[in-house]
A and B are shown apart, each in its own frame.
Chain A
Amino acid sequence: MLKITNLKVELEEESKEILKGINLEIESGSVHAIMGPNGSGKSTLSYVLSGKKGYKVTNGEVELAGEPILELEPEERAASGLFLAFQYPVEIPGVGNMTFLRTAMNSQRKFRGEAELSAADFLKLVREKAKELKIDAEMLKRPVNVGFSGGEKKRNEILQMALLEPKMCVLDETDSGLDVDAMKLVADGVNALRDKGRSFLVITHYQRLLDHIKPDFVHIMADGRIIKSGGPELALQVENNGYSDLLAEVQ
């Protein structure tokens, strides 16, 4: 589904290398987790995947379902099935959440040559998905993320994911800021979307989320590289011992 080959990325403004040769292949239907110390480049990877400005790819290739995506605009990547749940969802004053969701859905459908959703069908769909995530109707009426609590913002990300039904979902610390119940809700939301045609890349600091969303593979990222890959047991090892053993191992 997603194939990253020797990806090297610098900041555009200063020539500082953040990603130093990432290799990662995510099969269709699988869940991969990335853990790693603060500042190791996890969010940078997610931004580069989704096409944010400000980064320069100096080497490597990224393919989504066999197609190279690094030349595509962010909206084209999204319409091709890539979704990033932001570590810090952006507040957009003045744009209603409903307008935002409808515009996003219909833009993607249009891009793929599908018919736009009618207002009634859209409303029905949103209400249904919002209910599953315990997002109340009031929140949908407010401007995008404005005045949302940290946890509400994260749930709003998952709502968007549920509506857009992407093929490749990148979740950047979606668990941070969530209380125990909300974490369960979000995990249920993710699990409900697990499907053989859909893959996940879950960035997290905590084993706890991975209790709910069982990963097939766990990767440890440090200083712009994936230094170790393994099964779910790797996450437990991090939880118990931190990163120092792993870092020492590489050195």
Chain B
Amino acid sequence: MSLSQKLSDDLNQRILPLTLPKNNNKKRCEALKRIKAMGLPSRRDEYWKYTNPRLFNDLFSNKNHVLGSDDKLNFDSIGCFKLIFNDGVFDQSSSDSLEGEELELTQISDFSGDTAKWLEAFYGSLEEAGQHPINRPLAKLNTAFATDGLAIRVTGEITKPINIVYNETSNRSDVNLHHCIKLEAGSSLTLIESGSVSTRLNKVTELEVAQDSSFHHVCAQTNNLDKIVSTHLFARLWENSVLKSFTLTTNGALTRNEHVVELKGNNGVSHLAAACIGEGRFHHDDTVFVTHEGTDCESRQVFKKVLKKGAFGIFQGKILVKPGAQKTDGYQISQSLLLDDDSQFLAKPELEIYADDVVCSHGSTSGAIDEEGLFYLRARGVPEDTAKDLLILAFLAEALAEIEDTNISELLLTYLERSL
């Protein structure tokens, strides 16, 4: 059997139990055609060398999974509009009303030609743009088969953060979730996502931030050990717009978070940050691609991983500065703190620059707990475990500092202190 035959068989098997939803049908048919041509990710792909996609590719097995909804991280103290999902399905009746706010909210699954006209063109378009120059098959699969998700069009300043709360009640869920978010000129929104969606999750978020708008995003992936999670954020930023996205991951078996950002307008700002802590059978992959097209844009990537008991961390981060993207200011740092010799971190930072007047820096480090610092703390009476926790939190601090709202970062810090 030829390789291409095998890939196509794998794909057919993977999509066999799935049905193509009726909504956005034209886009979905296109996506299906594309995914059939591209095939599922394989370890031969340049960006899947270090992460085995098998758990994403396999038929979903629902054996022996544990629900992951009883962790205590909630954002109630921040004061948010709460939108509730149960097992990946939007629960409108349990969700807060957004009436009076300058936004339109629809469900992807509700979409018909009459509601949310913008969605027809929007759905799948940023994801498709993100397929070049590198294929992202899981996102394509998602666009074809996503069963639910929110379409949010923001036209002004939203007064409180929106908190999407994912509840998990079934331990046999395999969910494809797809959000579309469009910020019109001069608008702003803070979006917090929290909770564990499902045993296996494939989530795609398409985001467009128009001129003079800002989008703040905090995603808390607080999982338990079994979770298999793939997420993609496809973001397009126009002039003077701001994107700040922070992701926290604790545990999970396999997590791959991809961020694909295009800075299309001048003076755009894109800050991506993530902190993760995992142990044992924990494989965490951050794959980032930031394209600078406009001039005078600033992009930052701050990725930190704390790995123990044989956990595995990957960072693949590319900054592409296109011709003409002058005065680009790019900063990238990826670091891991390895708490034992069994844990591993691999980083693949890439810079590709076609403009001459730019400042780009990137760095990657991997290290153990600083023994000098540890002794200093202990010599002041701090017990070894507490001292280590302090140093771990200190290591993550630079990533948490990327969160604009300090109420949110403090809440996450308190959560981390508790969970260490």
Let me know if B415 is at the binding interface, CB within 8 A.
no
Q: Is the CB of A53 within 8 A of B375?
A: yes
Q: Is the CB of B376 within 8 A of A107?
A: no
The distance in angstroms between the C-alpha atoms of A135 and B384, with both chains bound, is: 28
Check A84/B382 contact, CB under 8 A, given A92-B391, A99-B390, A103-B390. Answer: no
Chain A residues positioned under 8 Å from B383 (CB to CB): 73, 75, 107, 111
The distance in angstroms between the C-alpha atoms of A164 and B380, with both chains bound, is: 8
B392 to chain A, nearest CB (A): 9
- Please provide the chain A residues from 48 to 93 with a CB less than 8 Å away from any CB of chain B in the complex: 50-53, 73-75, 77-79, 84, 86, 89-93
Compute the total of residue contacts between A and B using a CB distance below 8 Å. 81
The distance in angstroms between the C-alpha atoms of A100 and B373, with both chains bound, is: 11
The distance in angstroms between the C-alpha atoms of A235 and B407, with both chains bound, is: 56
Chain A residues positioned under 8 Å from B396 (CB to CB): 94
B77 to chain A, nearest CB (A): 18
Chain B residues positioned under 8 Å from A53 (CB to CB): 371, 375
The distance in angstroms between the C-alpha atoms of A73 and B390, with both chains bound, is: 18
Let me know if B46 is at the binding interface, CB within 8 A.
no
Chain B residues positioned under 8 Å from A74 (CB to CB): 375, 378-379
By CB atoms of chain B within 10 A, which of A74, A79, A90 has the most?
A: A74
Check A94/B395 contact, CB under 8 A, given A73-B384, A103-B390. Answer: yes
A85 to chain B, nearest CB (A): 10
Chain A residues positioned under 8 Å from B416 (CB to CB): none
Q: Is the CB of B376 within 8 A of A73?
A: no
Of chain B, the residue at the smallest CB distance from A50 is B379
Let me know if B25 is at the binding interface, CB within 8 A.
no
The distance in angstroms between the C-alpha atoms of A184 and B156, with both chains bound, is: 60
Of chain A, the residue at the smallest CB distance from B390 is A95
The distance in angstroms between the C-alpha atoms of A143 and B396, with both chains bound, is: 14
Of chain B, the residue at the smallest CB distance from A108 is B381
A50 to chain B, nearest CB (A): 5
Size category of the A interface is: 20 to 34
- Please provide the chain B residues from 374 to 412 with a CB less than 8 Å away from any CB of chain A in the complex: 375-384, 386-387, 390-391, 393-398
- Please provide the chain A residues from 123 to 172 with a CB less than 8 Å away from any CB of chain B in the complex: 143-144, 160, 164
| Chain B 350-387: CB-based contact to A (< 8 A → 1; otherwise 0) | 00000000000000000000111101111111111011
| Chain B 141-171: CB-based contact to A (< 8 A → 1; otherwise 0) | 0000000000000000000000000000000
Q: Is the CB of A103 within 8 A of B376?
A: no
Of chain B, the residue at the smallest CB distance from A86 is B376
The distance in angstroms between the C-alpha atoms of A52 and B384, with both chains bound, is: 12
Of chain A, the residue at the smallest CB distance from B371 is A53
Q: Is the CB of A90 within 8 A of B378?
A: no
Of chain A, the residue at the smallest CB distance from B395 is A94
The distance in angstroms between the C-alpha atoms of A119 and B391, with both chains bound, is: 22
Q: Is the CB of B382 within 8 A of A107?
A: yes
Of chain B, the residue at the smallest CB distance from A80 is B381
Specify which of B376, B386, B394 is in contact with A94 (CB 8 Å cutoff).
B394
Q: Is the CB of B394 within 8 A of A75?
A: no
Q: Is the CB of A103 within 8 A of B375?
A: no
Chain A residues positioned under 8 Å from B387 (CB to CB): 75
Of chain A, the residue at the smallest CB distance from B397 is A94
Specify which of B373, B378, B397 is in contact with A75 (CB 8 Å cutoff).
B378
Q: Is the CB of A95 within 8 A of B379?
A: no
Check A75/B382 contact, CB under 8 A, given A94-B393, A94-B398. Answer: yes
Q: Is the CB of B398 within 8 A of A75?
A: no
By CB atoms of chain A within 10 A, which of B372, B378, B390, B394 has the most?
A: B378
A15 to chain B, nearest CB (A): 21
Specify which of B375, B384, B394, B398 is in contact with A95 (CB 8 Å cutoff).
B394
Chain A residues positioned under 8 Å from B386 (CB to CB): 103, 107
Q: Is the CB of A95 within 8 A of B378?
A: no
Check A84/B394 contact, CB under 8 A, given A53-B371, A90-B372. Answer: no
Of chain B, the residue at the smallest CB distance from A109 is B381
Of chain A, the residue at the smallest CB distance from B393 is A94
Check A92/B373 contact, CB under 8 A, given A79-B381, A107-B381. Answer: yes
Chain A residues positioned under 8 Å from B390 (CB to CB): 95, 99-100, 103
Q: Is the CB of A95 within 8 A of B391?
A: yes
Q: Is the CB of A90 within 8 A of B382?
A: no
Let me know if A104 is at the binding interface, CB within 8 A.
yes
Specify which of A52, A91, A104 is in contact with B380 (CB 8 Å cutoff).
A104
Q: Is the CB of A100 within 8 A of B381?
A: no
Chain A residues positioned under 8 Å from B378 (CB to CB): 51, 73-75, 78
Chain B residues positioned under 8 Å from A99 (CB to CB): 390
Of chain B, the residue at the smallest CB distance from A92 is B373
Chain B residues positioned under 8 Å from A51 (CB to CB): 378-379
The distance in angstroms between the C-alpha atoms of A144 and B377, with both chains bound, is: 10
The distance in angstroms between the C-alpha atoms of A74 and B376, with both chains bound, is: 9
Q: List 27 A-B contacts (CB under 8 A).
A: A50-B379, A51-B379, A74-B375, A74-B378, A75-B378, A75-B381, A75-B382, A75-B383, A75-B387, A78-B378, A89-B376, A90-B372, A90-B376, A92-B373, A94-B394, A94-B397, A95-B390, A95-B393, A100-B377, A103-B377, A103-B386, A104-B377, A104-B380, A105-B381, A143-B394, A144-B376, A164-B380
Residues of B within 8 A of A (CB): 370-373, 375-384, 386-387, 390-391, 393-398
Q: Contacts A92-B373, A99-B390, A103-B377 given; 16 further ones with Cβ under 8 A?
A: A51-B379, A53-B375, A73-B378, A73-B383, A74-B378, A75-B379, A90-B372, A90-B375, A92-B394, A94-B393, A95-B390, A100-B390, A104-B380, A105-B381, A107-B381, A107-B382
